[in-house]
Amino acid sequence: MLDLHLQHLLAQAAGAPDLCDLPPEPCRGLYRQICTAATVPPADVDVTPHEARFAGHDVNVRIYKPRDAAGALPVTLYFHGGGFVLGDLEGYDAVCRQLCADSGVMIVSAAYRLAPEHPYPAAIEDSFAALGWVAEAIRGFGGDPTRLAVMGDSAGAALAATAALLARDAGGPAIAFQLLVYPPAAGAHDGDYPSRERHAAGPTLTKRTMDYFNRHYYGAAGKAPDWRGAPLLAPSLAGLPPTLLVLAAHDALRDEAMAYGKALGAAGNAVTVVEYHGLAHGFISMAGAVPAARLALGQMASALRQALEP
């Protein structure tokens, strides 16, 4: 059953415009409102905006550090969700603040170019450039690149997963841990994923919205043209860092995310899968109104802290 607090939150939002009925630009403003309306109150941490450049790519980040942190901190590079079309650093500010405060880990939230202005594979190129910048430059901000994790939710989780694969293939940067929150692991390719039909009408992410995102990001084909947009279809999943895969039971992406977890395990990687049975896609941004989502966010922070301990 869907969490009662989440049911109440969705009832309050009834009648709001559907994201996929709007062009991308006004849709982005609405999505930012959605992300911030029910999120956690902003935790008191140090925040440093920074504009950088790495391998020919502009990298805009926000660096979150616990107050009065001493010594070099472990680092988590975070990629926001939004279907590769929506989302920004501001919409995920409170989530990153809370992860930082709860974990004691430095969080680096990285922006990336959005579709349709910048279609596939722009987001992948930017996210891998952000990883390279963190590995090269984060010591100057008090971070320890030898204790580095990648994390993201939804589209951002797919970017984190692909960044880990690209880093493996390139021989670095070394990643100690990946935390993937309800990733679209199949890149809109067909497969045995009954949750897509079971939750085609939501309760949060709908088939119409997914089609909207996929059309803008991937183009007319509506699906990833190669494995970089579909980490589940990578030629090899061996040699990846320990993984925490977080799922929501009431999510169209649940089954392909679960399939990715099983494939990672079959390839010899250490994988933990946690499924939140009362929650739906996008719950990471609902932690201010849904206690179960707040608990989940705290558990993710604990996982980061434990995985990156010296």
**Mean pLDDT on 246-265:** 99
Beta bridge partners of 143: 73
| pLDDT band per the 50, 70, 90 thresholds, residue 234 | very high
Distance, in Å, from the CA atom of 221 to the CA atom of 249, rounded to the nearest integer, reads 28
Based on the residue annotation, tell me whether 251 is a catalytic residue of this protein: yes
Q: Which residue bears the tokens 């061996």?
A: 238
Name the catalytic one among 199, 251, 255, 285: 251
Span 59-113, pLDDT tens digits = 899 999 999 898 999 999 999 999 999 999 999 999 999 999 999 999 999 999 9
Question: Helix, strand, or coil here: 249?
Answer: strand
Is this prediction's pTM over 0.95?
yes
Question: Helix, strand, or coil here: 30?
Answer: helix
pLDDT at 186: 98
Name the catalytic one among 103, 109, 127, 154: 154
- Residue 12's CB is within 10 A of a number of other CB atoms, namely 12
Based on the residue annotation, tell me whether 93 is a catalytic residue of this protein: no
The domain containing residue 136 runs over which residues?
Answer: 4-307
Question: Which candidate, 110, 107, 109, places its Cα nearest to that of 73?
Answer: 107
Span 167-217, pLDDT tens digits = 999 999 999 999 999 999 999 999 999 999 999 999 999 999 999 999 999
The answer, yes or no, to whether the previous bond of 173 is cis (omega within 30 of 0) is yes
Q: Which residue bears the tokens 């320990």?
A: 242
CB contact set of 227 (below 8 Å; sequence gap of 6+): 187, 233, 234, 235
Name the catalytic one among 102, 199, 281, 285: 281
CATH code of 238's domain = 3.40.50.1820
At 158, list the tokens.
Answer: 């797919």
Span 98-119, pLDDT tens digits = 999 999 999 999 999 999 999 9
CB 2 within 8 A of CB 204: no
Q: Which residue bears the tokens 């395990």?
A: 265
CB contact set of 270 (below 8 Å; sequence gap of 6+): 242, 243
Based on the residue annotation, tell me whether 281 is a catalytic residue of this protein: yes
**Mean pLDDT on 20-36:** 95
Length of the chain: 310
Phi first, then psi: what are they for 162, rounded to 5°?
A: -70, -40
- Positive or negative: CA dihedral 61, 216, 196, 230: negative
Distance, in Å, from the CA atom of 123 to the CA atom of 85, rounded to the nearest integer, reads 10
| pLDDT band per the 50, 70, 90 thresholds, residue 16 | confident
How many structural domains are present in the chain? 1
